[in-house]
Chains A and B, each alone.
Chain A
Amino acid sequence: MLSFVAQRVVKGVIVLLAIVVLNFFLIRLAPGDPAIVMAGEAGASDQVFVKQLREKFGLDKPLPEQLFIYVKGVITLDLGFSFRQQAPVAKLIGERLPATLLLTLTAFAISLMLGILFGSFAARFAGTFLDTAITVFALIFYAMPIFWVALMGILLFSVTMDWLPSFGYETVGANLTGFAHAVDVAKHLIMPAMTLGLFFMATYTRMTRASMLEVKRLDFVKTARAKGLSDAVIQRRHVLRNALLPVVTLAGVHSGTLIGGAVITETVFAWPGIGRLMYDALLQRDYNLLLGVFVICSAMVLIFNLITDLVYRLVDPRIEFAS
């Protein structure tokens, strides 16, 4: 297993470098001059000022030279300097990453737990009213755009009922500490995590249901039934365990999508994560910051994929690690 992990890490680093090079050029294909954006209304009309900005941030250098400087930096774990925010990219990402991880991991946990639970119920009671209700429920959340769910959540739980805060990571100015602070953060987390989690929950519900119904038809389930095992045991030990493999695969793929979904969720709920940092960096053509966020997100996807492969083995010990 160790050699498998080591090999994947080496491959991951190569993939990351490829992503850096590709993104470096892709970002620059987008129209828009970061120096003009930085200069703002008054400065953008001043040629000397814009030229100074280009020189200051090395934007006047030839592209291959800019790439060489950037890749050299990445190799030495220096993600560069943000033009717009005038701070090291690593520092900016470091400030925001914990909030994004908290949000996405909570959403991920909610979606997986609820999705598998609802999917199992739907499969267990296939064809009944409960199955139909769960399927319709999943379909609705699968079809609704994340920003719409977010706004409806705010309207219902913040404006109408005043149960949950509509924005932010914590109550600003409350200066809470310890348990009270944790409760406060949890209250702020519920809506964004649910919003982000509901779409994926719907996917897992549908996937679990379909997969379980398929496994239920297989011979080994019939054998288990013939052996006289109870329905609950068959569902839990034989059907669910085997049906989970495609769900795990999907969850691995979703790890990257979750970060993408977090851009919208973080924007609507003013959640101070890297999704928003990425969005702002894109609008401002803050190349280094954008590349930095891409590097971190890509690294996270690679790590999640590795974890997925390891979880595969746990779920089904018959799967061997490729050497």
Chain B
Amino acid sequence: MPKRVLLGLLLACGLTAPALAQEPKTGGVINAVIQPEPPGLMLAQVQNGPTQMVSGNIFEGLLRYSPKLEPLPELAESWSVSEDAKTYTFKLRKGVTWHDGKPFTAADVLFSIEMLKQTHARARTNLAQVDKIETPDDYTVVFTLKQPFGPFLGIFEVGSMPMVPKHLYDGTDWKTNPYNNAPIGTGPFMFKEWQKGSFIRLVKNPNYHEKGKPYIDEIYWQIIPDAAARSVAFETGKVDVLPGGSVENFDVPRLSKLKDTCVTGAGWEFFSPLSWLWLNNRQGPLADKRVRQAIMYAIDRDFAKDVIWNGLGKVATGPSASTIKYYTDDVKKYPYDPAKAKALLKDAGYKGEKIRLLPLAYGETWQRWGEAVKQNLQDVGINIETIATDVAGGNQKIGDWDYDIAFTYLYQYGDPALGVGRNYISSNIAKGQVFNNVEGYSNPEIDKLFADGAVATPDSKRKEIYEKAQKILVEDVPVAWMLELQFPTITRCKVKNLITTGIGVNDGFKDAWLDK
């Protein structure tokens, strides 16, 4: 036997042996932490993080996404795209039933989309490119777009477009529909009980359309509001899963060292949280590009990553996270260089005018980061005043453009057209709103690039456009990009296969099992 073949066989054995040992076992209960308590579980009406995390088990989308953000089947078993990239045909999975036993059909898809257009801001924006939707039969849905829309296949995950049971919502007042409190989906787990302030209990869906799944019998989402108490709950064995962001980052190294504890940074590829400092481009010294560039040079982002975030994360290079499509690092670099920052400030004629900094009221880690940035900026001679607010107050100040520098982090949603452009295009400048172009950056070239990038075909053309946009933005520094954040998920090692897709824990626990 040739050596190469023998090696291949050995490798194959080596790979399959653990695979056999990892055959999923059925049964058991997973205790996970959820924070803060979701305001509701009806995913079509409430879309905050905790709701998605719990309801991703109850509801499903047409597609899932791999860690590389490739579409995978969920309620749609296959899909095809016409040659002109304007018609998308989805074939729905047959034999899928809602938790109350009614069949899931194309009529539900149609209804869900109509509902989401009114209740789900992101879905409405994503669907704006759709000209018409047809359902030639119960298991086929055809979307016809007004023009090609590059990221279209990326808008169907459960958080962006959850499927809603038409038979329970059609003709009712959606706001007060009793099923909002006991949601009915097609997902692997069914809603069972919610003791407000204590826990949410989900139980296995015995009729789930993927035979044999889910493996777990029950999930208890425990509501523990204090970060230190969440750490203790894991440490004392009361919970098995701490989803990313559940504990302060400085607790992660300690918890990671506990016996039988596994940590992963996977499962954030779709969201790719990217942190930056909003810089108010409209007024004062920050209106000058040189001052904004000086800020980039003045901040020691490696320190922030290594010390404040305990090595979790990656220094950002620009407006796109490295995990999303069309990212390039072929852009101007801003290493930590206080001397260069001082020179730029001098060049810009900065005279020590007071600059207000709004830290993010998301806990201790963010507070410390605010202090570190303040120190960095003071070191190069910027006169910084910290303004303390809570989240709601901070949002109002930012939305009213009543700030100079403010911390934030936002999701990227896998594609520059979905999660990046919104922060830099001038049509998104709207006072009173947050998470749009609050910095007031206006560049017709950037507007055109993002407009073209969304509809360009083929992919290579989009790549070219977005790479150019990244280069221009990094040169202009409308905001100061800080870190690609990592929110590690901490689990007991007995919890297997918890994270299998690009949306991590939010995709539900249908593949997870317990190695008892």
Contacts and interface: CB of A to CB of B under 8 A. Distances in A.
Nearest to B45: A86
A268 B198 contact: no
12 contacts: A33-B396, A34-B392, A50-B432, A84-B39, A85-B40, A96-B197, A166-B233, A172-B220, A172-B222, A173-B31, A269-B229, A283-B391
B121 A42 contact: yes
A47 B392 contact: no
B122 interface: yes
A154 B224 CA distance: 14
Given A159-B232, A270-B224, A33 B392 contact: yes
Given A99-B197, A268-B229, A50 B395 contact: no
Interface in B224-241: 224-226, 228-229, 232-233, 235-236, 238
B70 interface: no
Contact of B229 (A85, A162, A166): A166
B162 to A, nearest CB: 14
Contacts of A159: 232, 235-236
Q: How large is the interface on A (under 10, 10 to 19, 20 to 34, 35 or more residues)?
A: 35 or more
B303 interface: no
Contacts of B37: 280
B392 A31 contact: yes
Contacts of A273: 197
B205 interface: no
Given A46-B433, A86-B175, A280-B36, A95 B393 contact: no
B174 to A, nearest CB: 10
A155 B411 CA distance: 36
Interface of A: 30-34, 36-37, 39-47, 49-50, 52, 56, 84-87, 92, 95-96, 99, 151, 154-155, 158-159, 162, 165-170, 172-173, 267-273, 276-277, 279-280, 283-285
A41 B236 contact: no
A277 B435 contact: no
B410 A41 contact: yes
B61 to A, nearest CB: 15
A172 B422 CA distance: 42
Q: How large is the interface on B (under 10, 10 to 19, 20 to 34, 35 or more residues)?
A: 35 or more
A167 B224 contact: yes
Contact of B232 (A37, A40, A154): A154
Contacts of B435: 41-42, 44-45
A168 B225 CA distance: 10
Contacts of B31: 172-173
B124 interface: yes
A158 B396 contact: no
Contact of A166 (B29, B121, B238, B393): B238
Contacts of B152: none
A35 B392 CA distance: 10
Contact of A173 (B29, B40, B225, B422): B29
Interface in B31-87: 31, 36-37, 39-40, 45-48
B224 A49 contact: no
Interface of B: 29, 31, 36-37, 39-40, 45-48, 118, 120-122, 124-125, 175, 180-181, 195-199, 201, 218, 220, 222-226, 228-229, 232-233, 235-236, 238, 389-393, 395-397, 399, 410-411, 422, 428, 430, 432-436
A79 to B, nearest CB: 16
Contacts, number: 159
Nearest to B431: A47
Contacts of A267: 225-226
A84 B232 CA distance: 29
A173 to B, nearest CB: 5
Given A96-B197, A270-B225, A37 B175 contact: no
Query: 10 shortest A-B CB distances, which residue pairs?
Result: A272-B197, A32-B392, A43-B121, A45-B436, A42-B122, A46-B121, A49-B121, A31-B393, A270-B224, A45-B435
Contacts of A95: 196-197
A292 B257 CA distance: 45
Contacts of A84: 39
Given A31-B396, A99-B197, A270-B223, 13 more contacts: A32-B391, A33-B432, A36-B433, A40-B47, A42-B121, A44-B395, A45-B433, A166-B233, A167-B224, A168-B199, A172-B222, A272-B198, A272-B223
Contacts of B422: 45
B181 to A, nearest CB: 8
Nearest to A170: B198
Nearest to B391: A283
A154 B463 CA distance: 53
Nearest to A155: B232
Given A85-B39, A166-B236, A270-B225, A173 B390 contact: no
Contact of B199 (A37, A41, A166, A172): A172
A86 B197 contact: no
Contacts of B29: 173
Nearest to A171: B238
Contacts of B432: 33, 47, 50
Given A37-B391, A167-B238, A272-B196, A43 B220 contact: no
A36 to B, nearest CB: 5
B233 A167 contact: yes
Contacts of A49: 121, 124
Contacts of A31: 389, 392-393, 396-397
Contact of B392 (A151, A277, A284): A284
